[in-house]
Structure 1
């Protein structure tokens, strides 16, 4: 090939121009390539050259490109500096929700010791910058007790970070700095710290320690206890975490350890001085004992003495002194008919007790600390009318020989002897439906007969109040127990046995999910329908796993998407269930066992909480509510407690109010209205709350709560009024039991018209208003009621609640008991 031909072949295709038909034929392939270049560009292979030349040329091109980029960036920066206004919206981080905030503080340590003290005791800057102000105050409080070789109680509300405060305090004491030890070679070696907590939160403690600092943490639980003990003796453990049960059983092996600090989480577990756990904890060899609890007192004032006598022995005197000087005056001063002299003495003793407790107790509420950062919580009591079948079964239960023996125990014996029935012929109940099975091994009865029947009978009454299926035999029980439960069910069902599907467990899905014979499920059905139309998410708590099974079938039948957590849920799966519920918009309901889910769960995606069955201990219900009302909640939380009207559950609720009032008086020094005549543990003043005769009263045709409050109104006792609060404080109230209760109009009426959602008025209601309300009750169909509250004083029904009930009324008939309550 000639040189000319070679140059022509190397000429770019675009320069080829056909001059004749022959040339067109020769250049046709090139024209085809030109047409396809736009779709599939073909790069010509570069001519061969030396490798160094190619690299040099490549480097020059990159350098030129980089310099051009730098020039452009510099020019853009100069233009930005010249602009008077800088618009950074496109590059800003996503806007935070309204009630979420950056709680980081200055990156500097929090000094706890006095100035000039060496070495200084301080919370590391890496921890302090992430603490809220109330948490810093809590750390200072704990260190003040530690410095004076005392113990104490951190009694903040649930959800305020007591665990974090304890870890920050330990980090200061153990001289931690970031992820390394401060002056490790010069710091005095500290004795280890012991943490005793519920089994369900052991791993939560371990996780929090790993997040906040670099402690050497070991868990004394399970099969590896001996290995951990060896590490303790070798001084290789700084923090030892164990459970209540483990310490109760194996705590004696840890008595030889010199503990620097002992912290008990959920310290109210030490309320009973006769328990083995309390006695085991008394033997711990350190005075630096600290308790973490949001409910320092749950049932009795004497629980305060037991708790504080452990953390600060002798701080409240002797047990008898505390009982006579504080317990009795406070209880009798709270009687609705207490003389003025009793009330004045109780007020003085209350102030004295609060002043003493203040030295060893730091308690803050959500309203005082982060209330302004949350949307608030509203508590409601829903009195659900039992179905007709439930009422008949409830009455038959009260007529059983077992309960009649308890009710008539103090009546003269029918045999003519001067002794009472319980002392003579009616001590045992061989013809009863419950007693024979309890005493199958001792036909002559036990030492506590017939009072051994009280608890089993109460359980049965509560089961009837919730769902009739609960009193039927449980397939998981032994055959003898199932046979006896079947006999009991047949006795109380009577002629209605076919209506409820027999005396054995119903296997029908449609039967179990039917709401016809359960008053609470009827009310729940209407509430859920209203909430889900608004996109709400619901936490549904029940104390009974069998009740959860029934509710689960009900949700499946309705087509609702739900999650479930109970005692059978593996510990390692619980957090994933929580995370899935919080993140998944499709999950509408979370079924939770009150026992398994009362602690350690953070379910802030839910804004509706339903407590299906109340607990005798008010703290159990409050802890359940708090799973949703925590820091991070972005919506207004509404709580609904379902009570079977006219049943034992009304008495349970009244006792909750009584206990919470005493707690507010003894711990917080609040002023509480005097509604109840009964005095706990006092036979002379059993009133309407205490004693067997009150427990087994037939309330099916009455509204027990209404009677108590109306009696209070009739007597017109002068009672202490709670302090006025701002509307913002009303929105952030933490408990329905912390407020005053007023009930108007107890009569039960049936109507078919839509409910008249009137303004519920304030706490101070004129007599004319009361008369008008009694003559014009809220109308509805049936006798269920919803009792709203929004704080210590509720002035109006919330707009959202009005919309809920109005929508439910439009969708179909609903049940509304004509009760009117302001909390």
Structure 2
């Protein structure tokens, strides 16, 4: 997709506005008059037009009084800069209201004529939204058939409220359950396991919505609560994941009516102590509440479902072979048609199975009409020249070179790989030496113990060069190490960046010339503030907030700062002051997520897109564009995404993300007679079931306006990942009384042998020898053997492959001329 097309296609979508995070700035323009404006149709292009109409001298407005809270204690965690901009204008929609959304009458859950009658009390039902009533019915449908399941609604749709309403119905609260004869309305207790941070929220919600006997199994009073539980004095027991993992063994002899795991994605790892402890709970019904049932891998989906509904997805091996592998390989950009067809069949079958045990709704589907819109834009900012040089020097450090070359033959002549022989440790490396200062022979994880520290340093360089300098709050030993590291990567630029120690100069820290993200922010922020917009600046890094604070002071902007050091009793007042205008919380929100182009952040983002796509495919049955050649957890197809070599790849001279996205458009024309490298020269590619397209790629359209902003490329996230409703929305979510949780019936879809689902190298008998010879010639032209060239080919970008082919043809033409 070209930048021109992107600019023309930006339009608002309807999702909710998010509250400010703990590390953020809240900026208010305080202009005397506001011009009413409707939400923008084209966010990024609008900013450009504003800048064209505004003087770019960026002279600050009159400096009003500021309110800043400085951080002295919070732990540093470097991350990306995110900007949220709330556009002023008359609200189009009515405010969100939960109270009294329905008639004051009970919600009948049991079948007509069924005794006892099960219903949600009128006092609760009258306050439920329609989608919440559907959720309560879903939970009860599972309950009456002794099934477990997952309520997978988006955050903010009231999973807690739906759960309490469901429990109030099955416990017959408020005297509204019509009991017959001497039927005893006695129930075993309910166990709720949740993060520590929401324990008291659960307790508070129970007190607001019903009259349960609620106890908290947490802290020093655990023994007293256990005695009360044994004496049948507890209906609802709430505990945290950590408490249950450590002290939950005493609760395993209790027979629970229902067990509920809030934020059930915490149970994604089957090898964790928490997961194993939760498997020991005695109950016929386990329920999970989560808006992200799958975060990283499809196998996480199996782990959660195998806890709430054991056996619902078959055995682990069956799920991996029948669903996981086909879905991943069918999503490859060059997957053969039969792989894509099998993946589509398995996807539909998986969604059909999941619908029996999971109800998944999005805000757009349920309360979208009650909310203002939100746009999520990904903006790739050009790093400054000095940032690029420092980033490149970082990649040349011995630690990273050791990781990149780990699988090469050892230079000592041993048949072992470098990682198994002489290059397992890096005694001349600054980072390695610090990590192993007490163990010069290295650790059991060497050299892979270097991966995370090196990634952190690359991320710091991508955000701001000051972040890799020593932090005065650290111990002297670490400060010395960081100073030595900074000197090594700054090299000849050390004077340009103010030395290898923390810059104490206000003017130096507030200057934007050496930081690509801040150069873009400077111009965009001037436009937003001058047009009366309110702006929230987010960063995971406290040190980055310190730099932003100095920048805002220098520009004369009014702001408030909210981070981990802000007293709890002041946080809400800061937010309220920011939202003091009459249109409080009724604004269209535009999010700009700043990423450093050509850095590790691009690769991390594309991996996030990959994982979002897999989640949409497996959970919702969505159709997703096939951008990537890489396959997660498959060494044979690491492609452009996976493996250590990709993590530490130099992307500074590439348009990595834009090439991948625009390559998808090229793939659409493959079947129209296009010729690519695999057809002309690559017989080995046919052997590995891969067709690598090397069509000329339309690079991101050169745009002087974007270049002036310091933006290399930008797109809307929803244009890349399908956020629309999936197959599951169209399927009935109820469970009939005759349904069972036995092994899913897969006979309706022909089962194929594993080689059909997982590509393996195999000998191809009908090979054009001319293609094999041509492939060998290109490998020789590259100075590589055929095997080495094939590995390079699988990891190279389309533009790199195209360049090699063109250079080879030019040389061949010269030799033949």
TM-score after normalising by structure 1: 0.69
1:400 aligns with 2:397: yes
Instruction: Tell me if the contact between 1:287 and 1:312 (Cα under 8 Å) persists in the aligned partners.
Output: no
1:532 aligns with 2:484: no
Note the 1:476-515 alignment, pairs <5 A.
476-515=473-512
Note the 1:599-618 alignment, pairs <5 A.
605=584
Mapped to 1, the partners of 2:630 and 2:571 lie a distance apart of: 43
Q: Could you tell me how far 1:788 is from its partner in structure 2?
A: 3.9
Alignment deviations for residues 77-99 of structure 1 (CA, whole Å, 9 cap, x no partner)? xxxxxxxxxxxxxxxxxx99732
Note the 1:191-270 alignment, pairs <5 A.
191-270=188-267
Note the 1:33-72 alignment, pairs <5 A.
none
**Greater alpha carbon shift after TM alignment, 138-147 vs 704-713:** 704-713
Q: 1:255 to 1:579 in 2, by over 3 A?
A: farther
Match of 2:715 among 775, 787, 792: 787
1:144 aligns with 2:141: yes
1:641 aligns with 2:641: no
| Secondary structure of the corresponding residue to residue 434 of structure 1 | helix
How many aligned positions are there? 606
Mapped to 2, the partners of 1:568 and 1:252 lie a distance apart of: 37
Mapped to 2, the partners of 1:510 and 1:187 lie a distance apart of: 75
1:746 aligns with 2:743: no
| Secondary structure of the corresponding residue to residue 475 of structure 1 | coil
Alignment deviations for residues 134-175 of structure 1 (CA, whole Å, 9 cap, x no partner)? 100000001111111111111111211111111111111221
Q: Could you tell me how far 1:182 is from its partner in structure 2?
A: 8.3
Alignment deviations for residues 466-501 of structure 1 (CA, whole Å, 9 cap, x no partner)? 111221223333322222122111111112222222
Mapped to 1, the partners of 2:570 and 2:635 lie a distance apart of: 45
Alignment deviations for residues 226-249 of structure 1 (CA, whole Å, 9 cap, x no partner)? 332232223222222222222222
Match of 2:617 among 647, 665, 688: 665
Aligned to 1:99: 94
RMSD: 2.8
Instruction: Tell me if the contact between 1:563 and 1:581 (Cα under 8 Å) persists in the aligned partners.
Output: no
Mapped to 1, the partners of 2:466 and 2:633 lie a distance apart of: 34
Mapped to 2, the partners of 1:582 and 1:163 lie a distance apart of: 29
1:584 aligns with 2:512: no
Mapped to 2, the partners of 1:379 and 1:96 lie a distance apart of: 20
| Secondary structure of the corresponding residue to residue 131 of structure 1 | coil
Q: 1:220 to 1:718 in 2, by over 3 A?
A: farther
Note the 1:103-502 alignment, pairs <5 A.
104-177=101-174, 188-502=185-499
Q: Could you tell me how far 1:102 is from its partner in structure 2?
A: 5.5
Mapped to 2, the partners of 1:278 and 1:559 lie a distance apart of: 52
Mapped to 2, the partners of 1:189 and 1:553 lie a distance apart of: 63
Aligned to 2:19: none
Instruction: Tell me if the contact between 2:270 and 2:303 (Cα under 8 Å) persists in the aligned partners.
Output: yes
Mapped to 1, the partners of 2:551 and 2:252 lie a distance apart of: 51
Instruction: Tell me if the contact between 1:384 and 1:645 (Cα under 8 Å) persists in the aligned partners.
Output: yes
Aligned to 2:41: none
Alignment deviations for residues 252-290 of structure 1 (CA, whole Å, 9 cap, x no partner)? 222222222111111111111112221121111113111
Q: Could you tell me how far 1:786 is from its partner in structure 2?
A: 3.5
Runs of at least 5 residues in structure 1 that lack an aligned partner in the other structure? 1-94, 587-603, 606-632, 720-742, 756-777, 795-823
Mapped to 2, the partners of 1:322 and 1:578 lie a distance apart of: 49
Aligned to 1:703: 655
Instruction: Tell me if the contact between 2:418 and 2:424 (Cα under 8 Å) persists in the aligned partners.
Output: yes
| Secondary structure of the corresponding residue to residue 538 of structure 2 | strand
Mapped to 1, the partners of 2:602 and 2:653 lie a distance apart of: 13
Q: 1:749 to 1:673 in 2, by over 3 A?
A: closer
Q: Could you tell me how far 1:391 is from its partner in structure 2?
A: 0.9
Mapped to 2, the partners of 1:96 and 1:115 lie a distance apart of: 44
Mapped to 1, the partners of 2:721 and 2:266 lie a distance apart of: 32
Q: 1:413 to 1:245 in 2, by over 3 A?
A: same
Mapped to 2, the partners of 1:378 and 1:567 lie a distance apart of: 27
Mapped to 1, the partners of 2:323 and 2:431 lie a distance apart of: 40
Q: 1:522 to 1:198 in 2, by over 3 A?
A: farther
Which has the larger Rg?
Answer: 1
Mapped to 2, the partners of 1:339 and 1:514 lie a distance apart of: 52
Higher RCO, 1 or 2 (CA under 8 Å, sep at least 6)? 2
Instruction: Tell me if the contact between 2:469 and 2:483 (Cα under 8 Å) persists in the aligned partners.
Output: yes
Instruction: Tell me if the contact between 1:287 and 1:311 (Cα under 8 Å) persists in the aligned partners.
Output: no
Aligned to 2:641: 689
Mapped to 2, the partners of 1:195 and 1:537 lie a distance apart of: 40
Q: 1:430 to 1:182 in 2, by over 3 A?
A: farther
Q: 1:203 to 1:664 in 2, by over 3 A?
A: same
**Greater alpha carbon shift after TM alignment, 635-644 vs 550-559:** 550-559
Mapped to 2, the partners of 1:248 and 1:261 lie a distance apart of: 18
Q: 1:471 to 1:713 in 2, by over 3 A?
A: same
Instruction: Tell me if the contact between 2:106 and 2:122 (Cα under 8 Å) persists in the aligned partners.
Output: yes
Instruction: Tell me if the contact between 1:749 and 1:783 (Cα under 8 Å) persists in the aligned partners.
Output: no
Q: Could you tell me how far 1:583 is from its partner in structure 2?
A: 4.2
| Secondary structure of the corresponding residue to residue 343 of structure 1 | helix
Q: Could you tell me how far 1:201 is from its partner in structure 2?
A: 1.9
Mapped to 2, the partners of 1:748 and 1:701 lie a distance apart of: 16
Q: 1:747 to 1:326 in 2, by over 3 A?
A: closer
Q: Could you tell me how far 1:744 is from its partner in structure 2?
A: 8.1
Note the 1:562-573 alignment, pairs <5 A.
562-568=559-565, 573=569
Aligned to 1:712: 664
